[in-house]
Structure 1
């Protein structure tokens, strides 16, 4: 996947390229995943931010690479948010899937931290 450029807002067409899906897929995911909620301005134009791109990439990985259904991906995202907000649990058993999820969560948290540091 292409690297996310250092800019504040992305059009839906830019976001689609960065996520490796078509624009109509992003619009559909907005309906299915309430966490994916880009800014909407004049004429209902969507403006995605870096955290939206990261979330859409995570959704894409859950659906396409990991083989989850929409409902299963929703549950995984919800579980990931719940785990991130709770006290540290025992380490996972070390499966490749758990390692991949942890790496992704770390990257996502680092990206959010970078955004906060930049004052966005």
Structure 2
């Protein structure tokens, strides 16, 4: 994601996660934490917050194997805890990739 960009089109978001745009639209209906703005033509414009929320849902459903209902319940009951755990996992993945790169250089 670019730091200077405010909004992302649905195609850009789908490309970020390597999914179809239909999944983005479906999850938008299913999860109330994804609230894209719409322009006059009706095109969805996603903010960085929407993308962060989508990333969290993607992690729960695609990576951890939650059902949609399970992911909704998890986010309703403990969104802060879930977000914190997700951030820790992301940081650990970054450390792992750094260490693997370092190992390759040795």
Residues in 2 aligned to 1:56 and 1:17: alpha-carbon distance in whole angstroms: 13
1:54 counterpart residue number? 52
Unaligned runs of 5+ in 1: 85-91, 105-120
1:29 counterpart residue number? 27
Root-mean-square deviation (Å)? 2.6
Normalising by structure 1, we get a TM-score of 0.65
Bigger RCO of structures 1 and 2 (CA < 8 A, at least 6 apart): 1
Distance 1:52 1:99, change over 3 A: closer
Q: Is the 8 A contact 1:11 1:46 kept in 2?
A: yes
C-alpha displacement at 1:99, in angstroms? 7.3
Distance 1:50 1:102, change over 3 A: closer
- 1:44 is paired with a residue whose SS is coil
Distance 1:71 1:8, change over 3 A: same
More helix by share: 2
Structure 2 counterparts to residues 1-120 of structure 1, below 5 A:
4-6=1-3, 7-81=5-79, 84=80, 100-101=85-86, 103=88
Larger Rg: 2
- 1:47 is paired with a residue whose SS is strand
Normalising by structure 2, we get a TM-score of 0.72
Unaligned runs of 5+ in 2: 90-106
